[in-house]
A = this chain, B = another copy of it.
Amino acid sequence: MKTINNGELREKDVNKTLTLYGWVNKRRDMGGVIFVDLRDRSGICQVVFNRSYLKSDFKLAEELKNEYCIKVTGKLNKRTPSMINPNIATGMVELMCENIEILSKSEVVPFNIYDDKEINENVGLKYRYLDLRREKLQQTIKTRHLITSKVREFLNKEDFLEIETPILCKSTPEGARDYIVPSRVNKGKFYALPQSPQIFKQLLMIGGFEKYYQIARCFRDEDLRADRQPEFTQIDLEMSFASQEDVITLVEKMIKYVVKSVKNIELDEFPRITYKEAMERFGSDKPDTRFAMELNDLTEILKGTKMNVFSSAIENGGIVKCLIVKNNADKYSRSDVEHLTDFVKVYKAKGLAWLKYDNDAFTGVIAKNLEEEKLGAMKDKYNITNNDLILIVADKPKIVYDSLGALRLKIANDLQLIPSDKLNFLWVVDFPMFEYSETEGRYKAMHHPFTMPNNLNLLKTDKEKVLSLAYDIVLNGYELGGGSVRIHDSEMQKVVFDALQLSDEDIKNRFGFFIEAFKYGAPPHAGLAIGLERFTMLLSNTDNIKDVIAFPKTQSASDIMSEAPSIVSNNQLDELGITVVKEESDE
């Protein structure tokens, strides 16, 4: 058995006779002497094949090519001073090979394993087992393992039980599309793969387990974006007899424990802000707080201005907000600003007004039209100084927040204002219970329909004002996870379902058994789920979700390597009682 990690050999191991296993990372043939960097998952150790020292046939050493898998035995030597390589951890030592065995040969690999060069993504996915040998994926997969290990260690110590919930579930579509699985035994019926273990974990609370967690596989049949995969994993937990404060305290402690273990960083207490404050200050419910450049309010100042674009927006219940790009106005030409205008239009802003301040004066089109005292008030209130660029949107609050929130991130990225080594965690609390869906013409649950509202009376009269006991944990501008205190009373649950305009039949078909369960002494409970892939990405400095999954799917939800999905036999379909609809031809 392999007992040595090549990358951990040091001077203290010199003079030991060792057996190493691994892959030929690189070889250099110097005539009578061949040098091989022997790689295993821990790193690299140099192996020297010297014709006069090797007991095996030297031809074996000459035959070696990159990615051959070999076993070598020999004495570990200290390198001569000129051969010392300070760039690798084992750079002081090398193995003088006495015996070599080629365990497995390799054809020429489609890309180098030994370097970090970007490769074509599809080639990498096709030969995933080779890409997995490369440093980057070795590291991310190890980090993912370390995160889940530490999470489990922490939660086990806190007396949580890990309990597996089913993958073959009932379809209760709300929001995203379910993957479904035809049943052979119950023909015409289907299981659904779970989008989350939400209902089951609440049933486990009703079942008296008090503290549950699961590193749970979840599934969503959505049109994939770069950061989405059809299957993904959640760190999912639920606690009975616990408040929002209890969950937040526990999860914050857990995250600190994980980050300390993975990055050796001691985190300070996580700040908390309300949803309202997050929107007003950052234009986002998941603000990146690694840099300032917050949204500044101009509504009061611009009330009654003769500039119609602002005053009419305000009169119609809208607001005016601006970003102040400090000391960088010179980086933005007129056409650059026009590009920014196009950018905010994606978020439905009708336009982007702008000002520059330089040589102690405002410039730009609106500088001429806006009243002197309004400009002065802006300057004084927000401490505008030379070389500042002011970008203004006036519209309904949602549009102002969305457009300036996105613009804030864009500019910070463009100007490289974001320190990449920071980990800024943040709790966002007091989410609205409902949000209005323009497309569906009804209110939808912002978190999910099992979330506890803060005020039952308002439910019928003023849904927009009802807040919920929901909370998100945000890291560097990403929603890392979220949770809520749950409703534990079947009457209250019905009121919320009513507010969501679900029909009685719908409720019964989809959640009947769940509401029934609340009739038998359901304990108060609360929980949270964290996206494992996102957590791993953010602790690994990658923004590609595929980098943290051993065998990911492409954007079209395919596995290029194994060619999944694939056609199945008619016999299989017959047994399941389903047929594939033939696409109609245009001819």
Contact = CB atoms under 8 A, between A and B. Distances in A.
B162 A149 contact: yes
Contact of A568 (B71, B180, B239): B180
A166 interface: yes
A522 B109 CA distance: 12
Contacts of A23: 208, 521
A197 to B, nearest CB: 10
Contact of A580 (B524, B558, B578): B578
Interface in A1-59: 1-2, 21, 23-24, 39-41
A332 interface: no
Central interface residue in A133, A219, A221, A583, by most chain B CB within 10 Å? A221
A441 interface: no
Contacts of A132: 203-204, 207-209
Contacts of A169: 559, 562, 564
A68 to B, nearest CB: 5
Contacts of A99: none
A488 interface: yes
Contacts of A551: 165-166, 200, 203
A106 B518 CA distance: 8
Contacts of A127: 520
Interface string A512-534: 01100111111110000000000
Contacts of A199: 562
A357 to B, nearest CB: 51
Interface in A109-134: 109, 127-133
A302 B55 CA distance: 59
Contacts of A567: 188-190
Interface in A175-190: 177-190
A174 interface: no
Contacts of A539: none
Interface in A530-565: 549-551, 553, 556-559, 561-565
Closest 4 CB pairs of A and B: A132-B207, A170-B564, A106-B521, A2-B241
Interface of A: 1-2, 21, 23-24, 39-41, 67-69, 71, 103-107, 109, 127-133, 137-138, 141-142, 144-145, 148-149, 152, 156, 161-171, 173, 177-193, 199-200, 203-204, 206-210, 217, 219, 221, 223, 230-231, 233, 239-243, 246, 488-489, 513-514, 517-524, 549-551, 553, 556-559, 561-568, 572, 575-581, 583
Given A104-B522, A170-B566, 20 more contacts: A107-B520, A128-B203, A130-B207, A133-B207, A133-B208, A145-B162, A149-B162, A167-B231, A168-B179, A168-B230, A168-B564, A170-B565, A177-B572, A182-B578, A189-B565, A189-B566, A207-B550, A513-B563, A578-B579, A578-B581
8 contacts: A1-B246, A103-B524, A129-B520, A132-B203, A168-B219, A169-B559, A170-B562, A179-B181
